Structure 1
Amino acid sequence: MAAPQPATRIPQDPDKPQRFVFVLLENFSLLCFATAIESLRIANRMAGRTVFEWTMIGEGGETAVCSAGTEFNLDGDLGELNRDDMLMVCAGIDVQESTTKKVLNWLRREARKGLVVGGLCTGAYTLAKAGLLDGRRATIHWENQDSFAEEFEDVELTKSVFVVDNNRLTTAGGTSSIDLMLKIIADQQGEDLANAVADQLIYSSIRTDQDTQRLSVPTRIGVRHPKLSLVIQMMETNIEDPISPSILAQDVGMSTRQLERLFRRYLNRSPKRYYMELRLQKARNLLMQTDMSVINVALACGFASPSHFSKCYRAHYNTTPYRERGSQAARLSI
């Protein structure tokens, strides 16, 4: 039995351009959208013919405003698509607000046709909310990973730059649209054209779905100390159940005092303080991006009591978790 074709290679008339349908949600990421479009435009130019075409649609069919404030005229409303179309949901900040019932119902209806559905940047949230990623592997921008994992337990969330799981495509945002489009171009038109597009974009390091979206710990913190990096990785993966500094030190083969000196020297803070900042940062993401109760946010970030959580949060952010949640709700209602 023949192996299934990749989802990005759609059997069709070789003389017929592959059509992309970009669904622009309010506050969509301009960078993600622009790099996707530019990759397709350059592919047409380098191929010497139209191998890809695209259209922009959205709720209402008139305009959509990107996260940079620029208004785009749409080609149409959320209408009927063809089975050979590749549907790309472009989202950005405040994706929860732009993921409306109309968008969700339309996505579910069109997905039943079996077409390829993708989410650029936070578009994965919209796909997951519609139930289109249940039981699938997916990715989303690292800033949204914590809230996504809490809300969509049936999705296998990865930290990859992009993910192709059968007919579902997701990207992590930023320039990852280029990597996904180069894969699609390679699958449909060959590696030579994809490489030519990358050269035109001056994109010298083409990433695959095996590449992770965030910098390594040493690069991120500007310190190349293997034991310090290992401890920070352990902290980042144990937010809900924090590990004591003594156990962290023991696990990397040093004393608690040595670990303290290491953090003071390179990060100018104690291990306990650094760990607390990581936990509070996750808490803030959950408060801003989900409707989880403050108590559940506290538990998800390793705080045994709401009062202790509130005290630590206020000391770090100069406001309480409740006020943070209230200010976010007020901002979204404007």
Structure 2
Amino acid sequence: MTSQRQVIEVESDKPRRFVFVLMEQFTLLSFSAAVESLRIANRMANKTLYEWEVVGEGGTTIVCSANIEFKLDGDLPELRRDDTMVLCSGIGVQQATTRKLLNWIRREARKGLMVGGLCTAAYPMACAGILDGKRATIHWENQDSFAEEFDQVSLTKSVFVIDGNRMTTAGGTSSVDLMLKLIANHHGEELANAVADQLIYSSIRTDQDTQRLSVPTRIGVRHPKLSQVIQMMEANIEEPISPSILAREVGMSTRQLERLFRRYLNRSPKRYYMELRLSKARNLLMQTDMSVINVALACGFASPSHFSKCYRAHYDTTPYRERGSHATRLSI
């Protein structure tokens, strides 16, 4: 990297302070991408536009999901109204969301400061009640369970969302997109673009971009009618649509639809739909306290016995055993 970098002229008063709150098993990429964006903004402006500290419950050390230990700057602090709190979480966010943390979030949020959540951290924000009536996003793996638990939050599939003084991201590199947006808001597009160039980040996403790959990219098949049918399936898990209606919606016969799925996905439409529903069911079993009966209903199964039979045939275990083994793994 050349030392003769361009310095972006920006006006600034005192530096903006970010307080990153690391939760157990937080996602390293989401956190580091956010901090690096702020660091590079300082470097490109040749002045301290941003300051940050890294805190967490207990104030000593914390371990991320990559099993790397981090030394914290301190315990959960008293914040100023002009601070920005950024919660960083990852896998096992439910277990990492403690009563102490929730009480602290509520207390500090009452000051009116900006609160953000990276990756799965919309969960503690919602638990604390500070996302009620707000738009938000969360990592796609957690979308189903979040939607079931927090119907007072307007959940989107965007890579990031800023709604008033609340910010959420979908995880991974979406932290970069959020920080670039904030840098542009604070100090202009030129600086944000310079930061993106330093990060070799050539495609800056907005809050209008969705977090998951398109259906054709995910399944490796570019067939418009097949993509359309799969999108309808994904949008109608709780009340499945029959193959005949799906076929009619895209102007095909049921037999043609069957051949299409067999040719490109090596399974019937009914089988593919069942796998989607069982995948959502597994997420709900792993990530929520919903009863097995309610999980079955949320995934379009009329009875627990039918759900259990289908689940066992696909995953070689019952829903009850799946939940029990997951709870055991978390306690180890």
The TM tier, using the shorter chain, reads over 0.9
Say which SS state the counterpart of residue 48 (structure 2) adopts: coil
CA distance in 1, matches of 2:180, 2:246: 42
Deviation at 1:113, TM superposition (A): 0.2
Say which SS state the counterpart of residue 19 (structure 2) adopts: strand
CA distance in 2, matches of 1:202, 1:59: 34
- In the alignment, what sits opposite 1:264? 262
- In the alignment, what sits opposite 2:121? 123
1:78-122 Cα deviation digits (max 9, x unpaired): 110011100000000000000000000000000000000000000
- In the alignment, what sits opposite 1:4? none
Amino acid at match of 1:85: D
Using structure 1 for the length normalisation, give the TM-score: 0.96
- Pair 1:238-2:233 in alignment: no
Say which SS state the counterpart of residue 84 (structure 1) adopts: coil
For residues 1-334 of structure 1, what are the structure 2 equivalents within 5 Å? 14-334=12-332
CA distance in 1, matches of 2:163, 2:190: 24
Amino acid at match of 1:232: I
The number of equivalent residue pairs is 322
Deviation at 1:143, TM superposition (A): 0.4
CA distance in 1, matches of 2:65, 2:235: 31
CA distance in 2, matches of 1:168, 1:38: 21
CA distance in 1, matches of 2:12, 2:83: 14
Amino acid at match of 1:272: K
Amino acid at match of 1:306: P
1:154-206 Cα deviation digits (max 9, x unpaired): 00000000000000000000100000000111111111110000000000000
Deviation at 1:330, TM superposition (A): 1.0
Deviation at 1:321, TM superposition (A): 0.2
Say which SS state the counterpart of residue 19 (structure 1) adopts: strand
CA distance in 1, matches of 2:261, 2:100: 50
Amino acid at match of 2:142: N
Amino acid at match of 1:195: N
Deviation at 1:15, TM superposition (A): 2.6
Say which SS state the counterpart of residue 188 (structure 1) adopts: helix
Amino acid at match of 2:296: A
Q: Give the % identical residues.
A: 80
Say which SS state the counterpart of residue 20 (structure 1) adopts: strand
Unaligned 5+ segments in structure 2 are 1-10
Say which SS state the counterpart of residue 68 (structure 1) adopts: coil
Kindly report the root-mean-square deviation, in angstroms, between the aligned alpha carbons of the 2 structures. 0.8
CA distance in 1, matches of 2:173, 2:121: 14
Unaligned 5+ segments in structure 1 are 1-12
CA distance in 1, matches of 2:331, 2:125: 23
Amino acid at match of 1:130: A
Amino acid at match of 1:38: E
CA distance in 1, matches of 2:200, 2:70: 27
CA distance in 2, matches of 1:173, 1:115: 22
Deviation at 1:221, TM superposition (A): 0.7
- In the alignment, what sits opposite 1:3? none
Deviation at 1:14, TM superposition (A): 3.2
